[in-house]
Amino acid sequence: MKRALISDIHGNAEALEAVLAHIRGQGVDQIFCLGDIIGYGPDPLFCLDTIMKVADLTILGNHDQAALFDPPGFNPVALRAIMWTRGQLENDRRDMQVSDARWDFLGELPRRHDEGAFLFVHGSPRDPTNEYVFPEHIYEPVRMQALFQRVEKYCFQGHTHIPGIFTEGGKFLTPATLGGVYELGEEKMMINVGSVGQPRDEDPRACYVVLDTDLNSVTFHRVEYDVQATRKKILGLPELDNMLGERLVTGR
Ligand SMILES: [Fe+2]
């Protein structure tokens, strides 16, 4: 079975559409979304409606949660963006059934999905919604051990917007060093699928992963999209900090 794993779309319609078009060419059976559909970006409603339609499973992200409840620990830029996003959800009263369905969908998202050897979260196996696992954490073996203790075999996650594979042996492998494809072996792994709508590994292209459970392989894909179109939308919205548009251009 082939599964596309997408995460951290962050209201970026152009990136989401480009990735879904690319996925259609991969012959995948299912799409899993690992959270943060909304927040930061200019098209939260479009992205939410699209994910509700196309995703076979969606995990709750910290920004999705923040649209529902008051967010703890958000910086001022993220907070202003999520308040604007919440307003978009609240003020769209064109169709109350659609509006209610969005709130119900967000309110019912699971924090984790366990499938034997495969675990799917937004943040980490220890704190599925909020904990960041950054590449530099490989230098903290106690932390990494505590995380891997909670992984049966393979954990798929997002949240940092930095794609790559953490091995139990203490390495972080970037998609570039892997040549894009990785065969899952006996060692435990945490696989960060990267971000569709706000990549932060200095590559502005949208990122996602295809997991092939027959070949036991993970393939990282990068997809070009109209970054300038999304940037311009953000610059045109006073509630969204200009920095949120500019960072898309550099992928930071
Ligand atoms: Fe995110």
**Residue partners of 150: CB distance under 8 A and separation at least 6:** 125, 126
Rg over alpha carbons for the chain, rounded to the nearest Å, is 17
Q: Is the pLDDT of residue 241 over 90?
A: yes
Residue 173 and residue 182 in contact, taking contact as beta carbons nearer than 8 Å? yes
CATH of domain 2-250: 3.60.21.10
DSSP per-residue letters across 198-221: ---SS--SEEEEEEETTTTEEEEE
165 torsion bin: left (phi>0), alpha (psi -120 to 50), beta (else): beta
The pLDDT-based confidence of 124 (bands split at 50, 70, 90) is very high
- Across 187-204, average pLDDT: 98
Q: What percent of the chain has pLDDT over 90?
A: 92
φ, ψ of residue 3 to 5 degrees: the values are -125, 130
Residue range 130-163, pLDDT digits in tens: 999 999 999 999 999 999 999 999 999 999 999 9
Q: How far is the CA of 108 from the centre of ligand 1 (A)?
A: 19
φ, ψ of residue 113 to 5 degrees: the values are -135, 120
Report domain extents, the chain. Answer: 2-250
Q: How far is the CA of 60 from the centre of ligand 1 (A)?
A: 11
Mean pLDDT taken over the chain: 96
Q: How far is the CA of 79 from the centre of ligand 1 (A)?
A: 13
The pLDDT-based confidence of 92 (bands split at 50, 70, 90) is confident
Query: Which pLDDT score, from 0 to 100, does residue 73 have?
Result: 85
Cα separations in angstroms, 204 against 26, 209, 248, 251: 21, 16, 6, 4
Q: How far is the CA of 149 from the centre of ligand 1 (A)?
A: 24
Determine which helix (DSSP H) or strand (DSSP E) holds 54, and give its type and residue range.
helix 44-54
Q: How far is the CA of 40 from the centre of ligand 1 (A)?
A: 9
Classified as helix, coil or strand, 35 is coil
Q: How far is the CA of 45 from the centre of ligand 1 (A)?
A: 16
Residue range 155-184, pLDDT digits in tens: 999 999 999 999 999 999 999 998 889 999
**Residue partners of 59: CB distance under 8 A and separation at least 6:** 32, 33, 34, 35, 109, 110, 111, 112, 113, 120, 121, 122, 128
- Across 57-72, average pLDDT: 93
Determine which helix (DSSP H) or strand (DSSP E) holds 175, and give its type and residue range.
helix 175-178
Q: Is the pLDDT of residue 8 over 90?
A: yes
Q: Output the CA torsion 151→157→159→161 (10° steps).
A: 130
